[in-house]
Amino acid sequence: MQKIYNILIILSIFFLYYLTFSKTDNNKAGEVKPNIINNIINQIPEKPKIEIYKENIFKRKNISLLNEKSFDQISKEEVKILNNQYDLYQYYLPFIDYYNNKTKPVAFIDYVNEKDIFNIDRDRIILVSGYGETLGLTLPKNNIFDKNSFKNLKKTPNWFRIDNNLKEIANPESLMDSNRYGIKDILVDDKYLFISMAEIDLKQNDKCKTIKIYKSSLGDSSLGDGGFNFELFFDNIECTNGYNPHAAGGRLIKISNDELVLTSGDWLNKEQIAQSDNSIYGKLIKININNPKEYTIISKGHRNPQGLYFDKDMNVILSTEHGPTGGDEVNLIDLKTNVKKNYGWPLASYGESKDAGVSFLKTHSEGNFIEPIMYFKQKYLGISNLTIIDDSFFSEEYNKFKIYILSFLKGSKLVPLIFDKDYNLLNLTKGEKIKKKFEIDVGTRVRDLIYIPKKNYLVFVGENEPSINFILKK
């Protein structure tokens, strides 16, 4: 009898070893081996497997690394934000850096919460590069980012590629070539992934520059072993005479179950297109998710809106915007009334024009335009996105305030904005240079950032060396 038990034990060990380390038919050379649970799932026929993963939008793919440093840790540093100490973790991304890609954005970031097969919550980050490659990252299940959580990020199964069909439905030259066209933002809600893109619309002519939105169901698996099957969602048929897709805007934010907002820049158009009610350029546009042909202009007079945050409690949007030379702005768009707001561009700006003989109104109020709640006269900051942060991220003394983190491109920094409950700015003065005590030097252009409340950490994309960065309270 003892021999039988010993044989059963040995067979059990071999069986567990097989589940843990054996390759499945779908494994490629060099692919990270899945854990025991995923190996068991891989033995299930495809149709039942899809049912098990019905809330799991991600299918792991072997990631073709662009360089051997991809996912290696760059550094771990200490940073100070409002007298609180934090750890900053930086990791290489397998994308092309901003300068070697002729200034196409490195990537945009968002996250989604889903259930695993045991109905346990898990948070996953989605990254979409400027040329349309989609990448996912499963975050640690605990809320603690300790030294072991991503100790060897390169060899963990947390990273996975997600296939998509963007090259088949968008202009491949605008998407894939090293140019200023391409992806401008992403937005994840509970049903869809939306992607905005500046492109040349070849259906009209080879000079038609425009902004479009593509949409994929999060649960769509029609691309084989999972993936995003995009379709055209918002097809703007208006071509712009502007010349610079860097000024296309493209930020996306959801403001209700049925509505999202798109920022549309003026593409550095020499005409006053941002003031025209007959054009979508230089505007914030509210789009009906169920019928995207139904859209309305909620504000105009914008040059190049780069960041958006929707404060649901106050029913306002905060928008960041590039000035010409200096004059970057933070604007507040009040949604409590249906009156179209006008923020003054190209008639009013606190920046300077590069064009000879062109000047702006000294204040926005001179032209009956809405004043920004913050503007920067400093040149070459390159304001990007912003997000609000929970009280738990800071010490108790800041609990009575609204605190946003503002990011910059050329400035390579993050800056906290402290507001009272009525959105009066408390820690910075309009037009004055940012005080050093408020600057958080992160050493890289910051393209996009998100705050994940459940994890209580800030995540941003760096562009000098393509990187994903995590800031966590010590």
From 1-10, 70-79, 246-255, 440-449, the region with the lowest mean pLDDT: 1-10
Q: What is the DSSP string of 434-459?
A: PPGGG-EE-SS-EEEEEEETTTTEEE
From 34-43, 152-161, 164-173, 431-440, the region with the lowest mean pLDDT: 34-43
Omega cis (within 30) before 346: yes
Residue 47 has a pLDDT of 35
Report the distance separating Cα 414 and Cα 304, nearest Å. Answer: 20
Q: Which two tokens stand for residue 127?
A: 């990254």
pTM across the whole model? 0.84
- The average pLDDT across 356-384 equals 94
Report the distance separating Cα 449 and Cα 454, nearest Å. Answer: 16
Helix (H) or strand (E) holding 250: strand 249-256
Encode 223-260: b = buried (16+ Cβ within 10 Å), e = exposed.
beebbbbbeebbebebebebeebbbbbbbbbbbeeebb
Please report the sign of the dihedral spanned by the C-alpha atoms of residue 400, residue 378, residue 386, residue 63: negative
Give the amino acid at 257. N
Q: Using alpha carbons only, give the angle 260, 263, 216 rounded to the nearest 5 degrees.
A: 45
- The average pLDDT across 114-119 equals 62
How do 316-321 and 328-334 pair as beta strands? Answer: antiparallel
CB 446 within 8 A of CB 468: no
Residue 100 has a pLDDT of 84
Q: Quick one: pLDDT band at residue 69, thresholds 50, 70, 90?
A: low
From 106-120, 286-300, 435-449, the region with the lowest mean pLDDT: 106-120
- The average pLDDT across 123-144 equals 82
The phi-psi region of residue 132 (left if phi > 0; otherwise alpha if psi is between -120 and 50; otherwise beta) is left
Q: Is residue 247 scored above 60 in pLDDT?
A: yes
Q: Write the pLDDT tens digit of every residue in 21-46.
A: 444 334 333 333 444 444 443 444 43
**Mean pLDDT (the chain, rounded):** 83
From 200-209, 359-368, 444-453, the region with the lowest mean pLDDT: 200-209
Q: Is residue 234 scored above 90 in pLDDT?
A: yes
Residue 61 has a pLDDT of 41
Domain ranges of the chain: 63-473
Report the distance separating Cα 73 and Cα 79, nearest Å. Answer: 17
From 17-31, 81-95, 107-121, 406-420, the region with the lowest mean pLDDT: 17-31
Q: Which two tokens stand for residue 242?
A: 């502007």
Q: Quick one: pLDDT band at residue 53, thresholds 50, 70, 90?
A: very low
Residue 281 has a pLDDT of 97
Q: Is residue 450 scored above 70 in pLDDT?
A: yes
Q: Quick one: pLDDT band at residue 368, thresholds 50, 70, 90?
A: very high
Report the distance separating Cα 10 and Cα 5, nearest Å. Answer: 9
More confident residue, 19 or 41: 19
Report the distance separating Cα 117 and Cα 100, nearest Å. Answer: 41
Q: Which two tokens stand for residue 255?
A: 């403001």
Tokens 């037009």 belong to: 431
- The average pLDDT across 229-257 equals 93
Q: Is residue 259 scored above 90 in pLDDT?
A: yes
**Homologous superfamily (CATH) for 63-473:** TolB, C-terminal domain (2.120.10.30)
